[in-house]
Structure 1
Amino acid sequence: MIDHMASPSQQKKTLPSILTSKLNNLTIPSSPTDPDFDFADVFGPSSSSSTHPNPPHHNLFIGDPPIIHNRTHSFIGPSPRYTRSKSLPFHPQFDPNSSGEDEPEKADESEVEVEEKGKLNCKIGPGDFEIMRVIGKGSFGKVFQVRRRDKSVVNVDGECAIGDGIFAMKVMRKDTIIKNNHVDYMKAERDILTKVVHPFVVQLRYSFQTKTKLYLILDFINGGHLFFHLYRQGIFSEDQARVYTAEIVSAVSHLHERGIVHRDLKPENILMDADGHVMLTDFGLAKEIDESSRSNSMCGTTEYMAPEILLAKGHNKNADWWSVGILLYEMLTGKPPFTHSNRKKLQEKIINEKVKLLPRLSGEAHSLLKGLLQKDPSLRLGSGPRGGDDIKKHKWFRTINWKKLESRDLQPKFKPDVSGEDCTENFDKCWTAMPLDDSPAPTPTAGEHFHGYTYEAPNPWLSSPQ
């Protein structure tokens, strides 16, 4: 990290060498067996997660997602499929915390659950997608980059008006999900994604199942993770961080308006599309919480967890605004404000220590960080009845035109290097070079766990005025 105590002239001289050293030392584990590589923060807890003892004084329920102790890329994400046409609306979509430990099986049509929805007169299943590459693997399965096979568009009433395109297919083993008591989490994630329609949130296009697996078809985003770009650049300027933070605030506000708390906001769960816009992903720990209620689950990634979660005092949407503050701090300084190799000491620092604000940051940035990183959730910026609107009105965002931003007319200055819609250069080769092997899964004895899982996003060509 940059020595922020050095003089400006010293920082200028050493910045290129520091960033070069950072890049040379940046390593991504080559296999999921790496002890420092925990997939739980991407795909949900695995059966091995119980080896991490929970902090004292927290009474957790069986099936609660574990705290994430090791950070990693999510390796999964959507692609820039946001239409610029004013007449074509966006439709619900993304599911982030799941995956499937096997390649999509060549299931016959009788295996595929199809929800009868009036105009949907065709069955969608694994055979409708051509597997191109592996782009992720986790405790429940694999994530593939896939191409939708051509399928006839029947008529203007729309049966099977699906079309082709590049997607991310998450495949999850039912037996593993049931074994780990995560049926409710997988269902909640899918349900939440069907309710979220926002230009900075990844979209879920389809969900379906066979006798042995669950499938989520998501937009594939090829610009890489915010994590990757942040650690390649070292830090972001305030102007660059302002646009990313504004887009995140817009997305989180949208979730909160619909009673959804994300609970795992971090750079690894934010992707960048080919135009440089950020896209929020990974709803595996998300939860619908009533305005007057609280959740007592211990979940999230420790560096980004709000004090009230660590103290098991019950939390609500205000916990997300703390995480946004941590994200902003990391973008502007290169690391989260609270770090420690010992988990217990890290938690103590988050609960007790004051945030150290660097003098080189603007007074407006200091003010926003102080507001978001308020340890008392009732005093935190965004906690009031106006919610995210209070954050949008903060003076650090005075140059942001929120209408332009939310219509994606505010163009980021940085665009990732993307060669095409199927480009996977921003995904690590430890995944994209994997063989496309198919590993069969057993059929669970209890078959009613995932009833009603099938979903197809509304077709914009059918629901929009021409």
Structure 2
Amino acid sequence: MGNSNNKLPLRKSLSLPDTQFLSADGDFMRSKSRSSQRLFKLGSSHDIRKAKFREAPKVSTTQRRIPLVEALFLPEFPLQGDLDELGYEVVGVIAKGAFGNVLKVRREDEKAIYAMKIMNKTSIIIEGAVQQCKDEAAIQSMLGDHPFLVKTQEYWQSKKQLYIVLDYKPYGDVFTLWRYHERFPPVFVKYLVAEMAMVLDYLHKAGVIYRDIKMENILFNEDGHVQVTDFGLAKWLMVGEKTRTVCGTLQYMAPEVLAVYPYGHAADWWSLGILMFVMLAGKYPVDGAENHKLMASKVFEWEFKVPYHLNYQAQEAISRLLTKSPLQRLTDVYELQHLSFFKELNFTDLIERKVCPKDVVPEDFFSLAMTQALENGSCSGTADTDDFEGFEWNLPEDVEPVFV
């Protein structure tokens, strides 16, 4: 069976924006100056008493003041009620996380099923992840129309919670499928990696770094096309810019991220290489470590030997993605599609969904894995923070792990 014990998620809290120094507003200053001039033109104090001034508008004493716990999440999360007030009925739990749960819900007026991510605002504020959650909602709603991304329907806040409503994808995920089959046929991997590469190309050109590629975050639609979800670690980052946040899942992290160096979009392509390796080899290239420092040492010392049973074309693609230097790493979908491993695949037909990943695997390839998962009561993507009790991160003083 698959290496499910090797999943060691690492999160870094994002601090709230620094206080900004505001300069005086130009329109306000001009308005103030004009008012002063009118006042002096009246002349004497007697003239002033004769002048007629407009009464100041009365402020309603009943006007509601917005509490800080609500104002912090505006304007991305508008103020509304709880899920039951908005006509949603809870059907079940899909996954559990540190900030809250992902629920399966039904909208009463449509009878449609959705996935609803509910996050506790107090926990988010304590962990300093306010901007992180606002970015998640903004990015997924603005960029969610791509055929390989899970679409966001709506998002809002109540007094205590944040809510993000997503399309529900009941067709399984890569991790559940991998755990059952242990490894995938190369032709199937070709389709999945090509679709993920097009997702990365789309996000990067839109000024977003994803930072959380892993099997649990890749769902399937009814035809077996990937549906990427969970933008909790995504960040606005223009092409050529760098960030230094240590975050992601430990065994998918690029060397430059593990070393706490400034990194850019190339880190996502390394994670894609790890994903490709795992799906073809049935194991991670580097085993998990007891702490962050040892994990970084393992990655830097590993010679990246590709399993012998893989053909040259697959080995070449993995090697190009798992190049330790981000400057020499493959980071372009155009270059990837011209590798020998992908040459026979028409990327245009794939993104237009004229060809389907389900067509290249046995008919029961998906159903067998889903049946076993349902019988075992397993819940894909479930994260329990207790699994990391006692884990030593060994991070620099200014870097702190946070579970998302």
Does 2:377 align with 1:429?
yes
Instruction: Name the SS of the counterpart of 1:379 in structure 2.
Output: coil
For 1:405, the equivalent position in structure 2 comes to 350
Q: Which has the larger radius of gyration?
A: 2
- CA distance in structure 1 between the partners assigned to 2:335 and 2:263 by the alignment: 20
Report if the CA contact (8 A) 1:114-1:208 is conserved. no
Report if the CA contact (8 A) 1:260-1:287 is conserved. yes
- CA distance in structure 2 between the partners assigned to 1:37 and 1:249 by the alignment: 22
Identity %, equivalent residues: 32
User: Structure 2: where are the runs of 5+ without partners?
Assistant: 18-69, 381-404
For 2:163, the equivalent position in structure 1 comes to 215
Does 2:243 align with 1:295?
yes
Match of 1:190 among 137, 140, 144: 137
Report if the CA contact (8 A) 2:322-2:329 is conserved. yes
Q: Which has the higher helix share?
A: 2
Instruction: Decide whether aligned partners of structure 1 residues 378 and 430 sit closer, same or farther in structure 2, where only a CA change above 3 A counts.
Output: closer
Match of 1:359 among 302, 308, 324: 308
- CA distance in structure 2 between the partners assigned to 1:323 and 1:426 by the alignment: 29
Instruction: Name the SS of the counterpart of 2:367 in structure 1.
Output: coil
For 1:443, the equivalent position in structure 2 comes to none
- CA distance in structure 2 between the partners assigned to 1:235 and 1:209 by the alignment: 41
Report if the CA contact (8 A) 2:156-2:164 is conserved. yes
User: Structure 1: where are the runs of 5+ without partners?
Assistant: 1-21, 29-35, 46-59, 65-110, 116-121, 151-162, 433-466
Does 2:203 align with 1:255?
yes
Using the TM superposition, give the Cα deviation of residue 61 of structure 1 relative to its aligned residue in structure 2, in angstroms.
Answer: 7.1
Superimposed CA distance per residue, residues 246-290 of structure 1 (whole angstroms, 9 cap, x where no aligned partner) = 111111111111111111111111112232122111211111112
Using the TM superposition, give the Cα deviation of residue 428 of structure 1 relative to its aligned residue in structure 2, in angstroms.
Answer: 6.4
Alignment of 1:285-364 (within 5 A): 285-343=233-291, 344-364=293-313
- CA distance in structure 2 between the partners assigned to 1:173 and 1:129 by the alignment: 18
Match of 1:140 among 90, 99, 102: 99
- CA distance in structure 1 between the partners assigned to 2:150 and 2:327 by the alignment: 30
Superimposed CA distance per residue, residues 57-99 of structure 1 (whole angstroms, 9 cap, x where no aligned partner) = xxx97589xxxxxxxxxxxxxxxxxxxxxxxxxxxxxxxxxxx
Report if the CA contact (8 A) 2:204-2:238 is conserved. no
Match of 1:376 among 325, 330, 343: 325
Does 2:162 align with 1:203?
no
- CA distance in structure 1 between the partners assigned to 2:334 and 2:251 by the alignment: 26
Instruction: Name the SS of the counterpart of 1:309 in structure 2.
Output: helix
Alignment of 1:13-412 (within 5 A): 22=1, 126-127=84-85, 128-150=87-109, 163-196=110-143, 197-343=145-291, 344-382=293-331, 387-412=332-357
For 2:32, the equivalent position in structure 1 comes to none
* Aligned-residue CA RMSD (Å): 3.3
Matched residue type, 2:153: R
Instruction: Decide whether aligned partners of structure 1 residues 123 and 349 sit closer, same or farther in structure 2, where only a CA change above 3 A counts.
Output: closer
Using the TM superposition, give the Cα deviation of residue 430 of structure 1 relative to its aligned residue in structure 2, in angstroms.
Answer: 6.1
Superimposed CA distance per residue, residues 224-251 of structure 1 (whole angstroms, 9 cap, x where no aligned partner) = 2201111211111111111111111111
Instruction: Decide whether aligned partners of structure 1 residues 182 and 61 sit closer, same or farther in structure 2, where only a CA change above 3 A counts.
Output: closer
Using the TM superposition, give the Cα deviation of residue 223 of structure 1 relative to its aligned residue in structure 2, in angstroms.
Answer: 1.6
- CA distance in structure 1 between the partners assigned to 2:200 and 2:98 by the alignment: 27
Superimposed CA distance per residue, residues 408-442 of structure 1 (whole angstroms, 9 cap, x where no aligned partner) = 12112346229x9xx9965963669xxxxxxxxxx
Report if the CA contact (8 A) 2:81-2:158 is conserved. no
Instruction: Decide whether aligned partners of structure 1 residues 200 and 426 sit closer, same or farther in structure 2, where only a CA change above 3 A counts.
Output: farther
Using the TM superposition, give the Cα deviation of residue 177 of structure 1 relative to its aligned residue in structure 2, in angstroms.
Answer: 1.0
For 2:400, the equivalent position in structure 1 comes to none
Instruction: Name the SS of the counterpart of 1:416 in structure 2.
Output: helix
- CA distance in structure 2 between the partners assigned to 1:194 and 1:380 by the alignment: 30
Instruction: Decide whether aligned partners of structure 1 residues 63 and 378 sit closer, same or farther in structure 2, where only a CA change above 3 A counts.
Output: same
- CA distance in structure 2 between the partners assigned to 1:353 and 1:37 by the alignment: 19
- CA distance in structure 2 between the partners assigned to 1:271 and 1:427 by the alignment: 19
- CA distance in structure 2 between the partners assigned to 1:315 and 1:137 by the alignment: 30
Count of residues paired in the alignment: 315
Moved more, 336-345 or 272-281: 336-345
Instruction: Name the SS of the counterpart of 2:223 in structure 1.
Output: coil
Using the TM superposition, give the Cα deviation of residue 395 of structure 1 relative to its aligned residue in structure 2, in angstroms.
Answer: 1.8
Using the TM superposition, give the Cα deviation of residue 300 of structure 1 relative to its aligned residue in structure 2, in angstroms.
Answer: 1.1
Instruction: Name the SS of the counterpart of 2:155 in structure 1.
Output: strand
Superimposed CA distance per residue, residues 293-333 of structure 1 (whole angstroms, 9 cap, x where no aligned partner) = 20011111111110111122211110000010010011110
- CA distance in structure 2 between the partners assigned to 1:430 and 1:200 by the alignment: 24
Report if the CA contact (8 A) 1:322-1:374 is conserved. yes
TM-score, normalising length: structure 1: 0.61
Report if the CA contact (8 A) 1:303-1:338 is conserved. yes
- CA distance in structure 2 between the partners assigned to 1:261 and 1:27 by the alignment: 26
Instruction: Decide whether aligned partners of structure 1 residues 233 and 202 sit closer, same or farther in structure 2, where only a CA change above 3 A counts.
Output: same
Using the TM superposition, give the Cα deviation of residue 211 of structure 1 relative to its aligned residue in structure 2, in angstroms.
Answer: 1.4
Report if the CA contact (8 A) 1:205-1:218 is conserved. yes
Matched residue type, 1:333: A
- CA distance in structure 2 between the partners assigned to 1:27 and 1:357 by the alignment: 20
